[in-house]
Structure 1
């Protein structure tokens, strides 16, 4: 198949540091290319995959996250670039890009990477049959079952690219974006109560992240709680492989959580709260311990040492490897391409309120 892949504009593909969507995209592009598909990637910054690369920004405008114009301009450029490509399907991972789906002759598939409840779900609801949707977890799809879903495909990693380590060190790891919903402050409190040291590595670039860090994280740091900055791909693998476990005390219904599969790929189990897609990703009692409340987490930090690192690695290889994800998207591409759709520029009724 001939696939046009549209990335968000904010980070390179693959990302040099933080960037879960971009990491997933890089793996999908590689997987599709290995299986003989013709992939064109439209994105910002440097060319980092085997796909033909068309650039919307010379440098990814990471410092402008939160501003509308980079997203809108990227979407407009991506639409114009895609017009010149003889494709079977456009697979869009950006926010504004799907607005142009109804104007193109080939179908558009959108992977929803965010929380689907609220305005994001309303946005896709208005787009209606102009886009086919892929959820990254069953938990995500349950929040908006009425959308034009084509299926569910879990995110994935190249399992072999993560170092396996059987014997772990004593400290626990928190890794992610520094905002309250990710629960870094809770992770410090839980590790301290359990008598375990904790290492925190996370994205700290946006004003809201700095505010949260100054208010909740900095006062909690000490000899047993160290913040080591944002980890690049190599450093992230070192930390994940060495840690006793990954602590994942999320406070929202996160639709996936890439760091969980990255951790398990290293043979490192996950201790997490039962929110969002956690029960789909972590095999409770086998590759981690999933708990209902924060109060149960300190005990879990002790019990997690009995789990088998080999089982963690095998779980990822069998369920969350790039080959599994790629096969899932291949199946959905064929399904969407074969489904009759309205002509480009066609009209339809929208269930919008009239005032």
Structure 2
């Protein structure tokens, strides 16, 4: 079969947020962008999600409303997985791409190849889960940093998340403030962002929700006492507000405190022409070009000086970086290549095909 043959792809999202999400929802934003990119490439995509459909794919809902208010509970995950599995029986897709947590457990029961993107950590319990799934799924990493954290997992490839660059407003002239945008969790380093901005004499706007009760003590102890005229918390930003904040900000502050596999907000900021000041953790060095699209700091005490230096960075360079490496079509082409490899395997001429696939990677600038 030619490598460009149209496929029928079943794209299983999470039970938490719609596609695309109205506010927070990195997994759902990536999933929506991938669906639209694949449709643009000529594939037929059936989305299994919740609520209403905002993508170009056909849509089947497992819940009439998103279950985000139950985030972190088991019930919605298993019900979503069971309903998705039942839907797949009638779809007969060429490929299943599952972004949920419980859904991949069903992969062993079907012959259709199942691709799973590792949206979360690959250490601890989650890593044990991926290892237990074994060769029943084809696991894709979000970054090389994520792969390196668990080299023993049988990865089928690595693809960076992406955004449709043209959908992000580009602004050359910036405001005075820095912005933090994301979950108000300790591992995101929100209090560090506030401290660094204050030391740099730069106002900061914090945009994010506190939906998880487990995060409330951190918010009350570390974030609320630091708020003031120069550090404002505006709550969760809807899509329009997020775009305006990112486009007008002097920079995005990303003082991550864990090995985050992919920081989507860094790409979103750069798509708006806004540089990133971050700590060197996880995927940061793969996303930010130090001294060109932002500054990568090895120590906390370097953050204020980096914030004071962002004006010398080019907004055009930030946006061009995203267009070249992190645009939706880059991601769609990469997943298309993997889908075809799985749907139309080419066995070695001297050996029967046993289902195993070579690891491949989307490298810099798509090479």
TM-score > 0.5 by shorter chain: yes
Unaligned runs of 5+ in 1: 343-355
CA shift, 1:341, in A, is 5.4
Preserved contact between residue 150 and residue 336 of structure 1 (Cα < 8 Å): no
CA shift, 1:337, in A, is 2.0
Say whether 1:82 aligns with 2:55.
Answer: no
Q: Secondary structure at the match of 2:211?
A: coil
Q: For residues 173 and 341 of structure 1, what CA distance do their matches in structure 2 show?
A: 50
Q: Secondary structure at the match of 1:95?
A: coil
Unaligned runs of 5+ in 2: 1-6, 346-352, 356-367
Per-residue Cα deviation, 1:147-181 (whole angstroms, up to 9, x for no partner): 22111100000001000000111111110000000
Preserved contact between residue 179 and residue 208 of structure 1 (Cα < 8 Å): no
Q: What is the aligned partner in structure 1 of residue 12 from structure 2? A: 6
Say whether 1:16 aligns with 2:22.
Answer: yes
Q: For residues 80 and 147 of structure 1, what CA distance do their matches in structure 2 show?
A: 29
Aligned mate of 1:243, from 216, 226, 249 = 249
Q: What is the aligned partner in structure 2 of residue 335 from structure 1? A: 341
Q: Secondary structure at the match of 1:151?
A: strand
Q: For residues 70 and 226 of structure 2, what CA distance do their matches in structure 1 show?
A: 29
Preserved contact between residue 131 and residue 148 of structure 1 (Cα < 8 Å): no
Q: For residues 269 and 64 of structure 2, what CA distance do their matches in structure 1 show?
A: 33
TM-score of the superposition, structure 1-length normalised? 0.95
CA shift, 1:209, in A, is 2.7
- Report the count of equivalent residues: 342
Q: What is the aligned partner in structure 2 of residue 111 from structure 1? A: 117
Q: Secondary structure at the match of 1:124?
A: helix
Per-residue Cα deviation, 1:35-67 (whole angstroms, up to 9, x for no partner): 110100001111211111111111111111111
Aligned mate of 1:215, from 221, 228, 232 = 221
Q: For residues 125 and 82 of structure 1, what CA distance do their matches in structure 2 show?
A: 24
Aligned mate of 1:272, from 278, 283, 298 = 278
Name the stretch that deviates more: 47-56 or 94-103: 47-56
Q: Secondary structure at the match of 2:88?
A: helix
Say whether 1:225 aligns with 2:255.
Answer: no
Counterparts of 1:1-355 in structure 2, within 5 Å, are: 1-339=7-345, 340=353
TM-score of the superposition, structure 2-length normalised? 0.92
Q: For residues 289 and 93 of structure 1, what CA distance do their matches in structure 2 show?
A: 31
Q: For residues 13 and 148 of structure 1, what CA distance do their matches in structure 2 show?
A: 29
